[in-house]
Structure 1
Amino acid sequence: MFEWLFGKKVPPRKIEVTHRTTPSANTTRPRKGSAQIEIRDEGQGWLSIPATGFYGSYSRSPNGRFRIAWRDGGADRGNGHNGHYVLIYDEEIVCKGEMERPQDGKVADNGVFILNDCRSPSNLSGTFRAFQMDGSEFLTQDYAANLFTNGLSSDGSLAACQTCNSDDEDDSAILTVFDLAESKELYRFRAESGWPNTYTFSADGEVLTLGYANGEGEFAYKLDGTFIDRDAWIAARLGQGDLYMIRRVIDEAGGKPDPKIGEQLLAAVDQGLVHNSWRDDRSQALGFRLRGEVLESMGELEHALESYNKALALNSKIGVKRRIDQLRKTALAPPKR
């Protein structure tokens, strides 16, 4: 339904990544001689290793055999101490290491694992790192931006990393897709649906589905950034009363959305006006302005004027005074004899 409104694609930018070594052949078992000591699952994504004093977050591989655990250096970083990470296969420690601020670990069914090294948040920098099961690092990518989240395919062949906003045009708010089998970056793009919380690669390695918290949904992209589920994303945002999405739909329709879309936009505005995220006066004024614009485009001038007046009463700088003056001359003018 929205295809005619949103045909423009965001072009990806392809660059290579410097890396250390290429991955070795896939394997699902650690080498013999791995250390086996007590590992306690503390619940809610935390584990401890009493013998070493390690306590940190962890995540499991899809098959449940591997765990990658990490601990931020925290306050100790000021004393020159790094954070730590540990790869576990069943109840055996396979490898361990240090980095400045390990976060957001993921591990594949073959033991390949990734970590975000968040480094210093005040410096707007971060490093994405990928490792073999034996702890050898085979891909490193530095960013002039803080890191948000990452994702890894179940077979360890593909990974993705999302950055936060920064002053660096190339690295700000970028989602990067990596080919770990070839130790290189495939694509980078700005995901139109925003910063994801989860990443799921399709079995054929052609599609990346991004998941969002708070019931916002999951939306599929091709690896080059082509937004497959764009219409579904727009509909989902409208269903939640997202006033910024309503603004966007109206603007990209040249201020005159199709009447059928107009009815959906009015319902979305009504949803937004009662949503807790939009209860402040400034947001309420925006909502009534948007309602007025949709009604005006549908020819319901008196109702549009009413909405504009409500918007102006809430925010004198909402930008509807000229529209109100024009509609008063049009909607309230006496009929010609």
Structure 2
Amino acid sequence: MTKDAPQPIVELSNTLLCIYAIEWSGLFKKSRNRKWAVSWRDNTPNGSRGGHRESGEGRYLLVNLSTGAFAAQGSLPRPNQGQVADNGTFSIEDWHFGSHLSGTFHVFSADGTPIVLRTFTANILESGLSRNGKLAYCITANSPTEDVGKLTLFDLTTGHILFSVRPRRFGADTIEFDEKHRQLVFKVSGGGEYRYGADGVILDEHRADDAFLNSSDYSAVSLSAESMLKGDFSLLTTEKGQEILEALIRARRIGADVNPAWKPTALKSKAWHTKPYHRLRRRLHATRRRSP
């Protein structure tokens, strides 16, 4: 296509980006400033087969929505879950051919130049890209290899990995970025937030505890309470112990007891059915008796 040739018309629906002039129809994500869109197709070139397969590379493309011009395009075995920043930097997960537990995380500049290419011996569970294209993360799923459950943060200004860790805290409803301080912000529904610093360490464990104990997800509440009580019990204050007990009661009330899939864990977490919880209740009662 020459520079002065008319640009193809780009049409967007709720889920698909279509360019009929080149017979393109694919899933897409837009940048927050609505200037860019990255689109991908995880199927063979002739469209006869998508998803899990042994061959037939899919394609991706980056479109400048203000002009309709293609800024970058290419092929990967199984491109998925694209993201695009306000400056046109974009990411793509490659889920690989075959059934092996593996995946590659790609980040490109707006002209298609590679910034990050990181292959994991585990499937990629999710990924994200900061608004201004300065940071990106990906999370891996279960695997028998060292890449199991990894949280990896990339500095896109250098293309380097800031950290790749298997964190003790690993849950949130949304993950956001603090580009200025190079931090990941994990937001827990109903409970608040906690952060990972640029070195891969949680900045405030107490804040993470509070976020999970106050979550609207009973599984998050119960698992966090269980984890806290497995620590050094002598360091648990009476006030924190009371908070844990109240959180567990709330978790049962909002659904833990009535969900068949969760019932075994819910029963295990009952405050009066385990020794640590029983000791905690005795301590709380003793404290009340001593109070004036």
Same fold flag (TM > 0.5): yes
**Distance in 2 between residues matched to 1:116 and 1:289, nearest whole Å:** 43
Change (3 A) 1:290 1:220: farther
Aligned residues: 269
Q: Is the 8 A contact 1:272 1:287 kept in 2?
A: no
Partner of 2:22, secondary structure, is: coil
Give 1:124 deviation, angstroms: 0.5
Aligned counterparts, 1:30-179, within 5 A: 36-43=7-14, 45-73=15-43, 75-76=49-50, 78=53, 80-90=55-65, 91-120=68-97, 122-169=99-146, 171-179=147-155
Q: CA deviation at 1:295?
A: 4.2
Which residue type is aligned with residue 239 of structure 2? K
Contact 2:55 2:77 in 1 (8 A): no
Which of 228, 242, 254 is residue 203 of structure 2 equivalent to?
228
TM-score, normalized by length of structure 1?
A: 0.70
Change (3 A) 1:288 1:277: closer
Partner of 1:190: 166
Separation in 1 of the partners of 2:7 and 2:157? 29
Identity %: 26
Does 1:285 pair with 2:261? no
When residues 46 and 172 of structure 1 are mapped into structure 2, their CA distance, relative to the original with a 3 A threshold, is same
Quote the RMSD (CA, aligned, Å): 2.9
Q: Cα distance 1:277–1:36, how it changes in 2: closer, same or farther (>3 A)?
A: farther
SS at match of 1:275: helix
C-alpha contact 1:239 1:271 (8 A) present in aligned 2: no
Return the alpha-carbon distance in structure 1 between the equivalents of residues 236 and 183 of structure 2. Answer: 31
2:177 aligned with 1:201, yes or no?
A: yes
Structure 1 letter corresponding to 2:197? K
With over 3 angstroms needed to count, the CA separation of the structure-2 counterparts of 1:267 and 1:163, relative to structure 1, is same
Aligned partners of 1:233 and 1:56: how far apart in 2? 38
The answer on whether the counterparts of 2:154 and 2:163 sit within 8 Å (CA) in structure 1 is yes
The CA deviation string for residues 187-219 of structure 1, in whole angstroms up to 9 with x for no partner, is 11224331556443324243221346x656543
CA contact 2:94–2:104 (8 Å) conserved in 1: yes
Secondary structure of the structure 2 residue equivalent to 1:37: coil
Residue among 214, 225, 232 paired with 1:253:
232
The one-letter code matched in structure 1 to 2:123 is N
1:261–1:89 distance in 2 versus 1, CA, 3 Å: same
Judging changes above 3 Å, is the alpha-carbon distance between structure 1 residues 215 and 104 closer, same or farther for their aligned structure 2 residues?
Answer: farther
Of structures 1 and 2, the one scoring higher in RCO (CA 8 A, sep 6+) is: 1
Q: What's the CA shift for 1:166? A: 0.8
Query: Partners of 1:119 and 1:256 in 2: how far apart?
Result: 47
Distance 1:216 1:119 in 2: 36
CA distance, structure 2, for counterparts of residue 217 and residue 48 of structure 1: 39
Give structure 1 stretches of 5+ with no counterpart: 1-30, 303-337
Report the equivalent of 1:296: 279
Distance apart, 1:186 and its partner CA:
2.3
Unaligned runs of 5+ in 2: 286-292
SS class of match (1:123): coil
In 1: Cα distance, 2:265 partner to 2:163 partner: 36
Residue type of the alignment partner of 1:80: S
Greater radius of gyration (CA): 1
TM-score, normalised via structure 2 length = 0.80
Q: Is the 8 A contact 2:151 2:166 kept in 1?
A: yes
Kept after mapping to 1: 8 A contact 2:182/2:198 = yes
In the superposition, relative to structure 1, how do residues 92 and 124 fare at CA in structure 2: closer, same or farther (>3 Å)?
same
CA distance in 2, matches of 1:222, 1:145: 24
Partner-residue secondary structure (3-state), 1:167:
coil
Shift of 1:177: 1.6
Question: Could you tell me how far apart the structure 2 residues matched to 1:109 and 1:301 are?
Answer: 53
